[in-house]
Amino acid sequence: MLAPGIGRPKLEGQCALSQIIPVAPFDCVVFGGTGDLATRKLLPALWHRDADGQIPAEARIVAVSRKNFDDAAYRKFVEENLRPQLTADEKPLWARFLARLRHVTLDAEGEQGWPALADALKGGDAYVRVVYLATSPKFFGPIARRLVKQGLVTPLTRLVVEKPIGSDLASARRINDEIGAVIEESAIYRIDHYLGKETVQNLIALRFANSMFEPLWSSQWIDHVQITVAETVGLESRADYYDGSGALRDMVQNHLVQLLCLVAMEPPRAFAADAVRDEKLKVLRALSPVAPGSVVRGQYVAGAIAGTAVRSYADDLGKGRTSRTETFVAIKTEIANWRWAGVPFYLRTGKRLASKNSEIVIAFKPVPHSLFGEGVKLEANRLVVRLQPDEGITLRLMTKEPGPGGMRLRAAPLDLSFAEEFSVRFPEAYERLLMDVVRGNQTLFMRRDEVEAAWSWIDPLVREWERGSEAPKSYVAGSWGPAAATALIERDGRTWHEELA
């Protein structure tokens, strides 16, 4: 078997940024180890870190679930799920990864399995122990209490909890109280995988490692901001969860709001956990309440995406169910502080939209006076931060068309495609975040007060909807959402970015 530190071959021309910094030995316990999140995101993320040679020899992954698997059966289960994705270069590294896996059958609310879990864990107080709760939030408190009761929480134990942390402020507080009663805040890692996306971190670099943007980063020069997270997927296998949640709680309360915070926050003192989180919190607390006319809810009806017919939301739910859950939401909000007063932030997310496309658009103000006469249309500059696909940053500038014949102007992109600039494999968000947990770095994780402040902003919107009888507006799958979302921005004399492109 291969030694640790040996990883897949580097790509030609790979740059120094792709250097791998090994982490300390650790045990990673995954509750929900046979679930969707573990098999789709966590295990592939750990596998890639291992394949890159970042994970030390001693590190082990202990999956916990109710399934009656022994280690061999679990390894077979993982093999079936992951092996088809491997490239030829990676296959020699696979046996090393499989050998790290263990499985413990355990009932999170009962007594069974806890001694076996204790046996499976290595090391004493000096050994890093990551406990990932990839379970329903209703188990977060009970599992945390049991871990403590069983003596499994060591000084270097880090508890990772997935969203959703609650479904409103009261339930989020309850969950935070339950976990906080037994585990220190400094050991709790509330994950929002959007913060682990490469371009999201690049947004921080763009703002704070360059001098040219920050002087322009305010209501004086910025006309408005758009944040779009568009998906083509529908319910997948999560109908029950999603129907009880909807786009506002599933995406806006966490991912979109976190992106907004990174765009709008003041420069933190350092790129360090509390410095960054303090600044994000100030933004959250300055968010203006959303006026009833500044939000649009939608639900998809049957349509087609890239030529393939897709069903309506009701048909995806099945069993003749109907629902008022929104699969699309667009919101106009503002940040009531010195820097941003008067600058609208338009947020938009939805399932079954025309394409998978997540981006942040900083729309600058137009020039104050045109030298070029009335016939020449000048497009205001836009800085577009593309999260996915094709990660990169584009600045749209006005340029002169080449050749004689006077000043013919048009907008052209100044384009930084990360894939072209850096020939590296782009790590998945979970890869970066899991290694941050092992290192004990909470910078890209949400603090309790942030999560609760986000719910405080969302709650009145949800209550308003629940009080009313209005159904979400229909939109055809494969479109960009309901017409009312276009109207939301157009009535301000502005346009969604993709309609310009």
Beta carbons within 8 Å of 295's beta carbon, 6+ residues apart: 329, 330, 331, 332, 461
Residues sharing a CB contact under 8 Å with residue 424, sequence separation 6 or more, in sequence order: 11, 14, 15, 17, 18
> What is the spatial distance between Cα 414 and Cα 412, in angstroms, rounded to a whole number?
7
C-alpha span between 155 and 1 (Å, rounded): 32
Number of residues written out for the chain: 501
DSSP string, 365-412: PPPSS-SS-TTPPPPPPEEEEEEESS-EEEEEEEEEPSSSSS--EEEE
How far CA 67 is from CA of 46, 114, 454, in Å, comes to 21, 14, 36
The residue nearest ligand BG6 at its CB is 250
Residue 485 CA, distance from chain mean position: 23
Q: Least separation, in Å, of the C-beta of 110 and ligand BG6?
A: 28
Identity of the residue, 223 or 231, whose beta carbon is nearer to ligand BG6 in the bound complex: 231
CA pair distance 175, 249, nearest whole angstrom:
16
Q: What's the min distance (Å) between Cβ of 107 and ligand BG6?
A: 26
End-to-end Cα distance, the chain? 51
What is the closest distance, in whole angstroms, from the C-beta atom of residue 23 to ligand BG6 in the complex? 23
Q: What distance in Å separates the CA atoms of residue 111 and residue 104, rounded to the nearest whole number?
A: 13
Helix crossing, 43-51 with 91-99: angle to 10°? 120
255 is catalytic: yes
CA pair distance 103, 72, nearest whole angstrom: 8
Q: Are 14 and 424 in contact (CB under 8 A)?
A: yes
Residues that bind ligand BG6 (CB under 6 A): 193, 231, 233, 250
Shortest approach of ligand BG6 to residue 275 CB, angstroms? Answer: 26
Residues 327 and 231: their CA atoms lie apart, in Å, by 10
Q: For residue 217, which amino acid is it?
A: W
Among residues 198 and 231, whose Cβ is nearest to ligand BG6?
231
Q: Give whichever of 153 and 195 is closer to ligand BG6, judged by the CB atom.
A: 195
Complex with ligand BG6: residue 103 or 163, whichever CB lies closer: 163
- Whose Cβ is closer to ligand BG6: residue 104's or residue 257's? 257
Q: Which is nearer to ligand BG6, 231 or 452 (CB)?
A: 231
Catalytic, out of 48, 193, 224, 255: 255
What kind and span of H or E run contains 477?
Answer: none
Q: Which of 223, 251, 78 is nearest to 163 (CA)?
A: 251
Shortest CB 160 distance to ligand BG6, Å: 14
Q: How far is the CB of 387 from ligand BG6 (least distance, A)?
A: 8
Instruction: Give least dist CB 424 to ligand BG6, A.
Output: 19
Q: Report the residue number, 241 or 271, with the smaller CB distance to ligand BG6.
A: 241
| Residues annotated as catalytic (active site), given as ranges | 255
